[in-house]
């Protein structure tokens, strides 16, 4: 919901992290329910991908801030015209 | 009411409250701090579910590394003021409606899947230990593990390339 409601790019990235953590929590819960450790390996890989994604996303946000002096996503609508 | 249940209820309430706070608060700094609190609560949930390795990894990776990165970027941009322009009310309303629809779909799917929720034994299981997970990681899942190292390398190179100033890249191209 935060992804849809906010305009600050950093907060949107944080909300994506929150959603990934919700999935992680659900996977761990099911792994405990079924006594299977494959799901925990999967959670580990989700964390790996999330870490890489955050580093790239923050680099892109820094680049955007350097260009337009703002992190408002509504400025980035130049592909429209 | 057992002790486990009390801890679970308190942790869940704290997690939900701080997660909602992340979404609705105006100040990005407050948002980051609440997100760190959320991650610690989720680590507590992992400990309750006997996933000790993931609890430690969650604290180290998320609360330790990623959140420091977020905080660093926010401080760097000097964004800690409350004047964030809001989206229009209609878009916010549509966001709430679509999120509610998603929640409804997930709840219905969970209800119709017929999983019986029983109280599992929380003391004897050892599938979350580092020994078990590490053995599995280096035998069955060794190929994704190596692939993730390549992913990290490419992410690191990409970040450095993106973070460089444009004139640096131009002079590097001219020099070569």
Nearest to A7 among B57, B85, B137 (CB): B85
Residue-number span of the structural domain to which A67 is assigned: 2-72
Whether residue B60 lies within 8 A of chain A, CB to CB, comes out as: no
Tell me, what's the pLDDT at B13? 93
CATH code for position A16: 1.10.287.3510
Q: How many structural domains is chain B composed of?
A: 2
| Chain B nearest-CA residue for A48 | B148
Residue B122 lies in a domain: no
Residue range B58-83: mean pLDDT, rounded: 80
Cβ–Cβ gap B95/A35 under 8 Å: no
Nearest to B61 among A29, A40, A51 (CB): A51
Residue B47 pLDDT greater than 70, yes or no? yes
- The tens digit of pLDDT for each residue in A11-50 reads 888 888 888 998 999 888 888 887 777 888 888 899 999 9
Residue B11 lies in a domain: yes
Residue A10 lies in a domain: yes
pLDDT, mean over chain B: 82
Residue-number span of the structural domain to which B156 is assigned: 141-176
Q: Between B79 and A65, where is the model more confident?
A: A65
Residue B116 lies in a domain: no
- The tens digit of pLDDT for each residue in B10-46 reads 999 999 999 888 888 878 888 889 999 999 999 999 8
Residue A55 lies in a domain: yes
- Widest distance between CA atoms in chain A: 54
pLDDT, mean over chain A: 82
Taking contacts as CB-CB distances below 8 angstroms, the residues of chain A near B31 are 11, 14
pLDDT band at B165 (very low <50, low <70, confident <90, very high): confident
Tell me, what's the pLDDT at B167? 66
Q: Which of B70, B72, B102, B164 to mutate to test the interface with A (most CBs of A within 10 A)?
A: B70
Whether residue A63 lies within 8 A of chain B, CB to CB, comes out as: yes
Residue A78 lies in a domain: no
Residue A1 pLDDT greater than 70, yes or no? no
DSSP codes joined into one string, B58-92:
HIIIIIIIIHHHHHHHHHHHT--SS-PPPPPHHHH
> For the CA atoms of B59, B15, B93, B31, what is the dihedral angle to 10 degrees?
-50
Residue B83 pLDDT greater than 60, yes or no? no
Whether residue B132 lies within 8 A of chain A, CB to CB, comes out as: yes
This model of the complex carries an ipTM of 0.84
Instruction: State which of B37, B55, B80 marks the end of a domain.
Output: B80
Backbone φ and ψ for B128, nearest 5 degrees, come out as -95, 5
Q: What residues contact residue B22 under an 8 Å CB cut-off, 6+ apart?
A: A2, A11, A14, A15, A18, B31, B34, B35, B38
Residue B125 lies in a domain: no
Question: Which two tokens mark A6?
Answer: 């906010």
Residue B108 lies in a domain: no
Does residue B76 share a domain with residue B5?
yes
Instruction: State which of B41, B64, B80 marks the end of a domain.
Output: B80
CATH code for position B48: 1.20.120.1200
Tell me, what's the pLDDT at A81? 58
Residue B115 lies in a domain: no
Looking at CA atoms only, how far is residue B51 from chain A in angstroms?
A: 7
Does residue B145 share a domain with residue B74?
no
- CA pair distance A28, A32, nearest whole angstrom: 6
Whether residue A46 lies within 8 A of chain B, CB to CB, comes out as: no
Among A80, A60, A81, A78, smallest CA distance to A12 is for: A60
Q: How many structural domains is chain A composed of?
A: 1
Residue B128 lies in a domain: no
Residue A80 lies in a domain: no
Whether residue B134 lies within 8 A of chain A, CB to CB, comes out as: no
Residue B91 lies in a domain: no
Residue A81 lies in a domain: no
Q: Cα separations (Å) of B64 from A26, A32, B36, B61, B68?
A: 22, 26, 9, 5, 6
Whether residue A19 lies within 8 A of chain B, CB to CB, comes out as: no
Taking contacts as CB-CB distances below 8 angstroms, the residues of chain B near A15 are 22-23
pLDDT band at A66 (very low <50, low <70, confident <90, very high): confident
DSSP annotation of A72 reads B
Which range, B66-80, B115-129, B132-146, B156-170, is most confident?
A: B132-146
| Chain A nearest-CA residue for B22 | A15
């Amino acid at each position: 919901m935060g992804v849809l409601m906010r305009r600050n790019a950093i907060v949107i990235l944080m909300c994506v992290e929150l959603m990934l953590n919700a999935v992680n929590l659900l996977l761990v819960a099911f792994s405990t329910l079924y006594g299977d450790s494959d799901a925990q390996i999967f959670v580990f890989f989700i964390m790996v991908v999330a870490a890489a994604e955050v580093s790239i996303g923050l680099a892109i946000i820094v680049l955007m801030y350097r260009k337009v002096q703002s992190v408002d996503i509504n400025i980035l609508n130049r592909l429209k015209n | 009411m057992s002790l486990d249940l009390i801890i679970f209820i308190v942790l869940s309430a704290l997690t939900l409250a701080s997660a909602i706070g992340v979404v609705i608060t105006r100040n990005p700094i407050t948002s980051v701090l609440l997100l760190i609190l959320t991650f610690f609560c989720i680590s507590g949930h992992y400990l309750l579910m006997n996933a000790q390795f993931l609890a430690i990894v969650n604290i180290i990776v998320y609360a330790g590394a990623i959140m420091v990165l977020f905080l660093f970027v926010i401080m760097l941009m000097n964004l800690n003021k409350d004047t964030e322009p809001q989206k229009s009310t209609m878009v916010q309303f549509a966001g709430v409606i679509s999120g509610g629809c998603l929640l409804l779909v997930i709840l219905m799917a969970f209800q119709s899947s017929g999983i019986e929720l029983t109280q599992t034994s929380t003391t004897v299981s050892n599938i979350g230990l580092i020994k078990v997970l590490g053995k599995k990681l280096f035998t069955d899942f060794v190929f994704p593990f190596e692939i993730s190292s390549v992913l990290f390398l490419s992410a690191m190179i990409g970040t450095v390339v993106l973070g460089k100033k444009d004139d640096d890249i131009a002079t590097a191209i001219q020099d070569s």
